[in-house]
Amino acid sequence: MDIDLSGRRALVSGSTKGIGRAIAKGLARAGAAVVVNGRDEGGVTRTVDELRLEVPGAEVSGVAADLATAEGAALLFERLPEADVLVNNLGVFGPQPVLEIDDDEWRRYFEVNVLSGVRLARHYLPRMTERGWGRVQFIASDSAIVTPAEMVHYGMTKTALLAVSRGYAKAVAGTGVTVNTVVAGPTHTEGVEDFVADLVGTELPWEEAQRKFMAEYRPNSLLQRLIEPDEIANMVVYLSSEAASATTGGAVRVDGGYVDSILP
């Protein structure tokens, strides 16, 4: 499929590494002017420079801001008042026994994983509806549907994104703007490598550690391997395009068949 996003400006939150970086690269390859985001100025600058080399001719810029805070969001809005495509990718995760998670940690996960995207959608959606075109995506997880025992607080935030996304889709019904959630399955990122090591140990070679992790902690996967970030990005690029004009209010799965359900 030939997807052309020329003339569209796309913002990807939390995009200096992992899935977010792959999404930024995929959108840039499709011709979008991409805005990279992260908290660290050095990390944002480095990612922008790398993407410009990896995608010759791409228009890539960056805004360093902590979007888990109202102050960081305000800084972003000042630098980038409007966007055609918004990908709410920012998120944190990590294993912790649920009975040991204190109030502050519950709040931190909600503010980073949910409220950051709520703020961005609340700002950019009215501007999209005025123009009669826009794409908003929330990057969720199989954990939204299959709550992981080792990180319930993370699963809770991803479940919340399903409701938030559906609600925003209803709010912009009939405007030419679409809002969807991408349900990503277990994905191979730098953070997940550390996560896998925490669960199965650091003494195993990566390929063996990955197989052990999938067999013991994600046995429902029909793919039986970790998904690569580019595979998530492919779906995001499609949903950002004209070709996906009839897909809205949905939870679109790129989970490797992990969720054992016909519907999300």
Render pLDDT for 193-240 as a digit per residue (tens, 0 to 9).
Answer: 888 988 888 888 888 999 999 999 889 899 999 999 999 999 999 999
The answer to whether residue 204 is domain-embedded is no
The answer to whether residue 163 is domain-embedded is yes
- Structural domains of the chain, count: 1
Residue 57's alpha-carbon distances to 60, 171, 237, in angstroms, are 9, 36, 18
Q: What is the mean pLDDT of residues 59-71?
A: 98
CA angle 99, 115, 104 (to 5 degrees): 30
- Relative to beta strand 85-88, strand 134-141 is parallel
CA angle 53, 57, 62 (to 5 degrees): 65
> Residue 73: which domain range?
9-187+227-254
pTM for the predicted model, two decimal places: 0.94
Identify the pLDDT of residue 104: 98
Residue 264 pLDDT exceeds 70: no
Q: What is the mean pLDDT of residues 121-126?
A: 98
The answer to whether residue 3 is domain-embedded is no
The answer to whether residue 200 is domain-embedded is no
The answer to whether residue 121 is domain-embedded is yes
Say how far apart CA 30 and CA 40 lie, in whole Å: 26
For 18, phi then psi, to 5°, come to: 65, -145
The answer to whether residue 150 is domain-embedded is yes
Q: What is the mean pLDDT of residues 42-56?
A: 98
Identify the pLDDT of residue 191: 82
- Relative to beta strand 134-141, strand 251-254 is unpaired
* CATH number of the domain that residue 128 is part of: 3.40.50.720
The answer to whether residue 104 is domain-embedded is yes
**Cα atoms in the 13 Å half-sphere on the side-chain side of 203:** 0
Q: Contact 141/183 with Cβ under 8 angstroms?
A: yes
Q: What is the mean pLDDT of residues 133-140?
A: 98
The Cα diameter of the chain in Å comes to: 55
The answer to whether residue 211 is domain-embedded is no
Residue 146 pLDDT level (bands cut at 50, 70, 90): very high
For 114, phi then psi, to 5°, come to: -115, -60
Residue 190 pLDDT level (bands cut at 50, 70, 90): confident
**Active site includes 258?**
no
Residue found by looking up tokens 């959108």 in the block: 27
DSSP per residue, 173-202: TTTTEEEEEEEE-SB--HHHHHHHHHHH-S
Catalytic residue among 109, 124, 154, 258, which?
154
